[in-house]
């Protein structure tokens, strides 16, 4: 059913559950795992010009840490990729390139006005990605994660 799963991560605490669920799916379906981190070009472009290279380097370093967190969640071999651009577009493009069967990602679960003001990478990926997208919401502190049989970190 799933031969290739792309796990999109930004390294934040809110995506940890999504990474765990995706790693579990990869184990169950014996799927190839690709972990993707996107350096948001908008973050780099809005930094003062003299700081852009430092900002890019810092974001790439954060990406490498985020990808290491994905590897820590699975015993499977993981193919890593760091891209720079608009996150939703890069995630969709990468899914096409590797002929993914599924993209899995966490979501912050914003509601109301904030969702419209801030926007949502996950929402854009769901709308534009050519393959199915699994979004996994971070649970509230103290909630039981019945899907994985454990409490959230």
What is the domain extent for residue 52?
4-137
Residue 146 lies in a domain: no
Band (148; pLDDT cuts 50, 70, 90): low
> pLDDT per residue over 5-44, tens digit each?
999 999 888 788 999 999 999 999 999 999 999 999 988 9
Greater confidence (106 vs 3) lies with 3
Residue 146's pLDDT is: 52
Residue 140's pLDDT is: 57
Buried/exposed code over 142-153 (b: 16+ C-beta within 10 A; e: otherwise):
eeebeeeeeebe
Residue 123 lies in a domain: yes
User: CATH no. for residue 96?
Assistant: 3.40.50.12370
CA distance 105 to 125: 9
Residue 118's pLDDT is: 40
Q: Closest Cα partner for 136 from 4, 5, 1, 3?
A: 5
**What's the structural domain count of the chain?**
1
Residue 28 lies in a domain: yes
Band (82; pLDDT cuts 50, 70, 90): very high
Greater confidence (96 vs 16) lies with 96
Residue 127 lies in a domain: yes
């Amino acid at each position: 059913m799933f031969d290739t799963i792309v796990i999109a991560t930004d390294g934040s605490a809110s995506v940890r559950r999504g990474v765990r669920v995706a790693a579990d799916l990869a184990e169950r379906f014996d799927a190839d795992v690709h972990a993707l981190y996107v350096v948001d070009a908008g973050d780099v472009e809005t930094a003062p010009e003299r700081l852009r290279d430092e900002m890019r380097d810092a974001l790439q370093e954060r990406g490498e840490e985020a990808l290491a967190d994905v590897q820590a969640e699975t015993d499977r071999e993981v193919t890593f990729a760091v891209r720079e651009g608009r996150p939703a577009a890069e995630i969709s493009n990468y899914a096409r390139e590797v002929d993914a069967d599924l993209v899995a990602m966490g979501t912050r679960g914003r509601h109301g006005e904030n969702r419209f003001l801030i926007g949502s990478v996950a929402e854009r990926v769901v709308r534009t990605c050519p393959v199915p997208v699994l979004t996994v919401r971070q649970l509230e502190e103290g909630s039981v994660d019945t899907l994985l049989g454990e409490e959230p970190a």
